[in-house]
Chains A and B, each alone.
Chain A
Amino acid sequence: MDTAEVVQKVVFDSGEAATMVEELRASYRSGKTRSYEWRVSQLQKLEKVTEFHEQEIVEALRSDLSKPEFEAFVQEIGMLKSSCKLAIKQLKSWMKPEKAKTSITTFPSSAEIVSEPLGVVLIISAWNYPFLLSLDPVVGAIAAGNAVVLKPSELAPATSSLLAKLLGEYMDSSSVRVVEGAVAETSALLEQKWDKICYTGNGRVGRIVMASAAKHLTPVLLELGGKSPVVVDSGINLQVASRRIIVGKWGCNNGQACISPDYILTTKDFASKLVDALKSELDNFYGKNPLQSKDLSRIVNSNHYARLTKLLDEDKVSGKVIHGGERDTSNLRIAPTILLDVPQDSLIMQEEIFGPLLPIITVDKIEDSFDLITSGTKPLAAYLFTNNQKLKDHFVRNISAGGLVINDTTVHLAVPSLPFGGVGESGMGAYHGKFSFEAFSHKKAVVYRGFSGDASVRYPPYTKGKLRLLKALVGGSLLGIIRALFGWSKA
């Protein structure tokens, strides 16, 4: 091997990580990241990244995931741009303290809630939306005035290195850094004390992140996943429903998305109509040879490809494929595949699929599907297609998930006024829009008092009269207080 070609790699170990955190803390302590001007200028730089490097981003996503340009734009670049724009527009109002009401018990006083940054935060991103899921939390962290370390996923290496390059060029490196790497680097980072950790990924690693955070009492935002079900009732516009299911499943990174419909629940009577509609629309979208379609992402890597083919090839499942199933191992592609009535204990129904396989489970009555959903862990999203108001109400009241959508799939992600996050196994905390700002802030309670209005009831020596007055003050009724002051109430 030519020694000149051996690139000296700096080992990013715990020592390196500690040094970096120290540098960022010093920068944070200087107060630089807290100013409105700094925050806005950094957000504007991020916006510029999306504007001037669109093609490079699209290329990186194509390299990492064979992501169609349309998806790259709509789901990653466009979303990030919106996020930056919203934060820039709203930042002044988000940063403003909120007045809080004080009561007669503490009269005279005034109070407010002041948002302040947490300090130095760590953002660990995922591979499936490697651009968006890296930078969207960064937008929140910067808007809230923190210093940030971003660790992009090594399973999307082109995007990871593009992010390192672009953020290195555009952002203030005294306060915003990118650390590339895999398990070793992530572990080194997790050993450090952070003021917040945001992790997007799976439950197994989520547990490791939270346990590491526990050592330093670091609060965490965990955006995990689950099996997001779609309940399909009869008596609906089947064409529209199927299109929305398809675009939510295969149109989102070929099913490799945390809020992609994972499986369908429908009645035995309705199933064949639904299957026909799905097949027909799949044809319209991806043609007769979906393995060749440029409008579908591939499977990210051979590990996941092997995982997915294992789900398909399991004995109890392999006979249930009613559409698709074709594969192209060398190109890591699996055609949109529909399965009908796989057993509940099959592998495909026991883990989050995260791929282009869509099981349809049939039930006798549509209401039975709710029990099936609640018997599993709480997913990140749950969907229902119906025109039946009672069913909608029942669904909303009884299905617990990060978010619910009725008569569509995945679009709630794009609504900044709705918090985006999980519950139970699907995660804790939320972000998007103002929720991002709040996720990376500490809301500090502040009370202002003057020196007048000092109630002697507060101080010893303690007497029966003071106890009466105290009770009246707690009761909050003006009359009670007057009575106590005049000694007219019983102790």
Chain B
Amino acid sequence: MTEIVEETLCELRQTFKSGKTKSVAWRKTQLSALRQLVKDNEEKVFEALYQDLGKHPIESYRDEIGVVVKSINHTLSNLDKWVAPTKGKLPLLFFPSRGEVLPEPLGVVLIFASWNFPISLALDPVIGAIAAGNAVVLKPSDQAPACSSLIAKTIPQYMDPKAVRIIEGGPQICEKLLQHKWDKIFFTGSPQVGRVVMTAAAKHLTPVTLELGGKCPVILDSLSNPSDLKVAIKRIVSGKWGPCSGQACIGIDYMLVEEKLAPTVIELLKKTMKRFYTESPKDANCIARIVNKHHFQRVQNLLKDPLVEASIVHGGSLDEENLFIEPIILLDPPLDAAIMNEEIFGPLLPVITLKNIQESIEFINERPKPLTIYAFTKDENFKKKILSETSSGSVTFNDVLIQFLCDALPFGGVGSSGFGRYHGKFSFDTFSHEKAVLRAGFFPELEPRYPPWNNFKMAFIKLAYDLDYFGLFLLLVGLKRY
């Protein structure tokens, strides 16, 4: 096991050193090949995702294949722009020097993917790493084994094996990987493991991007227009159970709503869920299952607390053999119960009632910063307050999940939901070093730069700092005292 890691790292370092991955043409070829891989293997991807998580092809296309294809398209259209240096403005004093910021690859990067979106969360960071000109080692999650082995089998068939490698395995291989020096580590997963990754990275001063999670709340304000409320509920239902049955970092974790609205909202939720998932969601085949026994038991345990169990108002059927948990709604479970203190990462939706919806801001602020906050409201002042008084990776008003699809928006957390970001150009940037380059000329020479020091030179420098060009002129022609 140690040998695989060391050999891989050695070979990739040599490849990077040869300069091959820096060529923009090479990068484009790799990305096109990856796109072809995904298109050619669409059916196999659907199968693997169904096997690992019970995802329906539409969910698989929408959340995984589509994301990857879109990302590659966007990257290929923009790569030439991204690799170009950016001019840096220089004060006149520096004339005729020129400054620019030149992006360059970091070197050999390590990407850890998570199990809930085992295709897109594996390949999307790879797209960024390759676009930026790096060599890549990808470690898919062992908890989504069909996807992991599909990736391990197909990548070498399409991409350059001297520069892109897949290393499969569990915690042991992760440990081995983390012992080595990488030029960047990109991790998607839980805060606990995020700490382990960052601690290991610290030994080598390896920069990291941590895409973690948290309890993403949805604030549901009163909406006077009943059709707006219907749309809101549809979006909320699809934002909770749509992505991997609640096992998503930006999935809705819990809802905040005013007491007096709760009954209506819960009724609407039930109605909408029936329409989407039928009376028997397990058979409807449009909700993913729980990834494995460990997580099934973890989610089940959240319901063991009798006070929590008593707060269930819808659903509650758990099928351990098939790892399926039907959508469950809870009304005001105790706030000190585990279900309200850990990221649920499952199909349980606690609805927390407040006397006044404005209290949701304080509620959210009392807890760790989430990856995202959703708010359904038409109150412009409330929107402003949410934006300025809470902190989260992102905020989406009146919809769910779509911030994930905007290539122009940075995707990442803050506080315990992580740091660093990607998507679109941010992916390119995250795997790049922005190198400052200053090109000076030998002429003109500014004598006051050099010792021995005297009052004239001091006066000159002081005027130079103020960019007082007129004062400098006066000084130089002897019309200014010093």
- CB within 8 Å of B: which residues of A? 29, 31, 34, 68-70, 73-74, 78-79, 81-82, 100-103, 105-106, 109, 111, 113-114, 116, 118-119, 195, 203, 206-207, 210-211, 213-215, 217, 219, 222, 224, 236-237, 240-241, 243-244, 246-247, 251, 285-287, 293, 295, 374, 392, 396-398, 400-408, 411-412, 415, 417-420, 423-425, 427-430, 442-451, 454, 458-462, 466-467, 470-471, 474-476
Contact = CB atoms under 8 A, between A and B. Distances in A.
B402 A101 contact: no
A470 B465 CA distance: 57
Interface string B415-453: 110111100000000000111111111110100011111
A310 to B, nearest CB: 25
A197 B396 CA distance: 29
Interface residues of B, number: 103
B304 interface: no
B203 interface: yes
Could you say which of A116, A408, A418 has the most chain B C-beta atoms within 10 Å of its C-beta?
A418
A400 B183 CA distance: 12
Nearest to B195: A214
Contacts of B392: 444
B69 to A, nearest CB: 6
A237 B395 contact: no
Interface stretch (B155-163, B228-236, B258-266, B334-342): B228-236
Interface in B60-91: 61-62, 66, 69-70, 73, 88-91
A444 B393 contact: yes
A113 B409 contact: yes
Contacts of A100: 406, 408-409
Nearest to B229: A451
B451 A222 contact: no
Given A447-B409, A474-B69, A417 B419 contact: no
6 contacts: A203-B205, A237-B442, A293-B452, A374-B17, A415-B438, A444-B393
Given A78-B465, A445-B409, A474-B70, 13 more contacts: A69-B458, A100-B406, A210-B205, A217-B419, A219-B420, A222-B205, A408-B97, A444-B391, A449-B397, A450-B398, A462-B286, A467-B61, A470-B62
Given A210-B205, A418-B88, A404 B453 contact: no
Q: Top 5 A-B pairs ranked by shortest CB distance?
A: A214-B198, A210-B202, A403-B436, A70-B453, A408-B440
B contacts with A: majority SS: mixed
A444 B414 contact: yes
B62 A446 contact: no
A451 B22 CA distance: 45
A353 B58 CA distance: 60
B314 interface: no
A400 B104 contact: yes
A401 B394 contact: no
Given A210-B205, A400-B433, A405-B440, A111 B406 contact: yes
Nearest to B392: A444
Contact of B442 (A211, A240, A418, A474): A240
B462 interface: yes
Contacts of B90: 415, 417
B405 interface: yes
A418 B438 contact: yes
Given A74-B461, A78-B461, A210-B201, A411 B440 contact: yes
Contacts of B409: 100, 111, 113, 445, 447
B145 interface: no
B205 A425 contact: yes
